[in-house]
Structure 1
């Protein structure tokens, strides 16, 4: 049992103790106090028993590791013994022949071809023994028989590479089993390690290089800021691609710096104990200054967007106008608009609505899952009267998707091409980095929260799919039960006087 599970178990037992104490009405009796004390003592004893079992398991694991190390040393010693046993006779013969050659050279006697060949055979025999037993490579320059002087070339045997434990094994040992670590440190380090393992696998720690650490840094800097906060999150690399293509807000340099600090703290243990030769997560620099804050569109920017000609090639101008107008009067996220199905247009209590919901569909023979970013994202959005008057329902078709021109990218994201085209369109119109497609959502939220129509804040949160500020169970139940007529009041409260022109498609 890892430390987090143990802490959760203890938390649950303490909660049980508190519940029993709260059930006592008035002044507790002696019997009730004794029962509470007995339960407390039992909780403490159970916790100590679990700790004892964990200590015993850790000790057994350590002894097993030592036994494995001794076994490897014994095997190496046996191999070396075999090497010397096979090498000694050949070495003695070689030395004798070299000595005879030296004497012949001193007395200027002619060395016969047979002697040369014999000496060469001795050298080749010794070389083959060294290769077969110690796997030492032959010198680049071979020793020629008959050379007046012979250099003795000795290559040291390469040390046997020690097995490198994996990252999760080292995290378990130096983080989860470290009693001095707080629950917060354990949780945060676990999250960081999980991100690394998702990106690169559970690597041996000795194989983690500065190059890999740098790639991890780049991935983290491209990660959307809401990654992991919903009930379903896309894979790490896919999430980074989505963030780049959909212009999502990404995590701050400070957040990435914190991830690297946790990895660096773990690696200091590994370097100290020779599990790693260096710490690839230290000495990195991060921009911890405040990120560019996304904002709502100004009136002038909205006027420019809705009255300028669309030049993007990803979709027709009709689809562009439909998506932009829907965003303007609903505050829906781009991903929600791009994945809206025809069947998600529903009449509820007599009101035409967009029903944003999770689904699984078969597209081109393959199953495709989609869900909103958060639990609150599943919602009913009444369609604004302006959209209905402009004919938004004319986009309904016999296919699967409401905006049927949009394509699905190879990694499964629908609407990437439109997102990229919108970004180029916005830049072509001279708009700053602070505004993106998500600014439609900011605009709707700002207008609704500044209106004077007596619209409740919780209704606005439900309309936009925002998490409530105080998300209690009661609040959750209330938001899920808000009547469509009240959500329609929210939609109808939206109005624009920026000279947007006539909506048309």
Structure 2
């Protein structure tokens, strides 16, 4: 048809109109009437979220244990703008959503559910309280943008209204990390009152001490099994892993690099950590801190330990946003100021080894190397 049309146009330019006459005189038949399919029912935001979460788990992109965190982020949009057809979610909706997040306090979902207030009334009630960090806002917006990008690939929506709405964070990353100072550490651990008898739960005593001397994450310590502490090459170590031979499969690692072995500092042994483990085994305990429990609302063992340590810091008048996680930053800072942020440190800290050859060739540093070059050098002014 296009070729014939061009031939007709060329003939007209020559003044020849005879070429098109057969087309005018040709018989034609009406196009058959095609029954158009009924308009599809609009997909609502709540339905998209359910579909998205199911597919993410099915495809292996998420694991079941992280589903609640992922779902909470994307469900934030539903809770703030309401349930509406996904193709009617506008750019203005997303800007309004992002701006609303910036007015909300930490753990707002939990508090909002308990309050029974509308989102506007809830914001008004908490307007003078600490608000979500820029990082938290960006993580939520990016999670929703990821969901919309997936929906576009699945031909469920035509555009991603949340793309590129992150807020520029002018605070340097290093400023966000708040380690405990040497004075803080001395005040908390070495002022004479940090003793097992001062705590109503042994985990509240041991977990911060282990973090101080190993740099381990809170949950890594709280989920330890008794079999994860053992002797190798004459050195006691902590084996951070998801695997277990005791039949209890409840450990979770944050990243693939979190799987590692850390030698136990001599001071922890002097404090009685090995004896504590031995007593736990005699009492037929599989987990090192069996008193710590997971619940549906608190799916991590370490939540209460973190809270208790936070209260201890307040008692010592150590504030400025410092928390249990500050112990991990203190561990890192100890080696940083000594120019010891090496591949060996990264192996102990659970971060990726930067040197390519170190990652792909050869073995990891041995326990003896780590102990002699790193762990044994940790000391505090008591």
Interval of TM-score (by shorter of Structure 1 and Structure 2): 0.5 to 0.7
Match of 2:274 among 393, 410, 415: 393
Q: What TM-score comes out, normalization by structure 1 length?
A: 0.45
For 1:73-472, list aligned pairs within 5 A: 163-165=41-43, 199-200=74-75, 204-205=85-86, 214=97, 218=101, 252=135, 255-256=138-139, 259=142, 288-290=169-171, 293-306=176-189, 307=191, 316=200, 318-359=202-243, 368-396=249-277, 397-398=280-281, 399-410=285-296, 411-451=298-338, 457-470=342-355, 472=356
Report the Cα offset of residue 335 of structure 1: 1.0
Report the Cα offset of residue 496 of structure 1: 1.0
Preserved contact between residue 213 and residue 265 of structure 2 (Cα < 8 Å): yes
State the secondary structure of the residue aligned to 1:370. coil
Q: Quick one: structure 1 residues 315 and 414, their matched pair in 2 at CA, closer, same or farther if it must change by over 3 Å?
A: farther
Report the Cα offset of residue 488 of structure 1: 0.8
Preserved contact between residue 141 and residue 166 of structure 2 (Cα < 8 Å): no
Q: Quick one: structure 1 residues 263 and 257, their matched pair in 2 at CA, closer, same or farther if it must change by over 3 Å?
A: same
* Partner in structure 2 of residue 3 of structure 1: none
Preserved contact between residue 310 and residue 323 of structure 2 (Cα < 8 Å): yes
State the secondary structure of the residue aligned to 2:239. strand
Q: Distance in 2 between matches of 1:482 and 1:311?
A: 34
Report the Cα offset of residue 402 of structure 1: 1.3
Q: What TM-score comes out, normalization by structure 2 length?
A: 0.57
Q: Distance in 2 between matches of 1:311 and 1:384?
A: 18
Q: Distance in 2 between matches of 1:412 and 1:486?
A: 36
Preserved contact between residue 344 and residue 370 of structure 2 (Cα < 8 Å): yes
* Partner in structure 2 of residue 476 of structure 1: 359
Does residue 1:487 correspond to 2:370, yes or no? yes
Preserved contact between residue 142 and residue 166 of structure 2 (Cα < 8 Å): no
Q: Quick one: structure 1 residues 197 and 435, their matched pair in 2 at CA, closer, same or farther if it must change by over 3 Å?
A: closer
The structure with the largest alpha-carbon Rg is 1
Q: Distance in 1 between matches of 2:320 and 2:138?
A: 21
Q: Quick one: structure 1 residues 264 and 475, their matched pair in 2 at CA, closer, same or farther if it must change by over 3 Å?
A: closer
Report the Cα offset of residue 357 of structure 1: 0.5
**Deviations for 1:238-272, whole angstroms, at most 9, x for unmatched residues?**
xxxxxxxxxxx977167359639958998xx9xxx
* Partner in structure 2 of residue 139 of structure 1: none
Q: Distance in 2 between matches of 1:458 and 1:495?
A: 21
Report the Cα offset of residue 360 of structure 1: 6.2
Q: Distance in 1 between matches of 2:364 and 2:268?
A: 25
Report the Cα offset of residue 376 of structure 1: 1.6
Q: Quick one: structure 1 residues 443 and 196, their matched pair in 2 at CA, closer, same or farther if it must change by over 3 Å?
A: closer
Report the Cα offset of residue 206 of structure 1: 5.0
Of the two structures, which has the highest relative contact order with CA contacts closer than 8 Å and spacing of 6 or more? 2
Question: Unpaired segments of 5 or more residues in structure 1?
Answer: 1-66, 74-161, 171-193, 224-248, 270-274, 500-505
Report the Cα offset of residue 288 of structure 1: 3.9
Question: Unpaired segments of 5 or more residues in structure 2?
Answer: 1-33, 49-68, 108-131
Q: Tell me the matched-pair count.
A: 278
Q: Distance in 2 between matches of 1:444 and 1:338?
A: 18
Report the Cα offset of residue 404 of structure 1: 2.7
Report the Cα offset of residue 300 of structure 1: 1.2
Q: Quick one: structure 1 residues 352 and 262, their matched pair in 2 at CA, closer, same or farther if it must change by over 3 Å?
A: closer
Q: Quick one: structure 1 residues 256 and 216, their matched pair in 2 at CA, closer, same or farther if it must change by over 3 Å?
A: farther
RMSD over aligned Cα atoms: 5.0
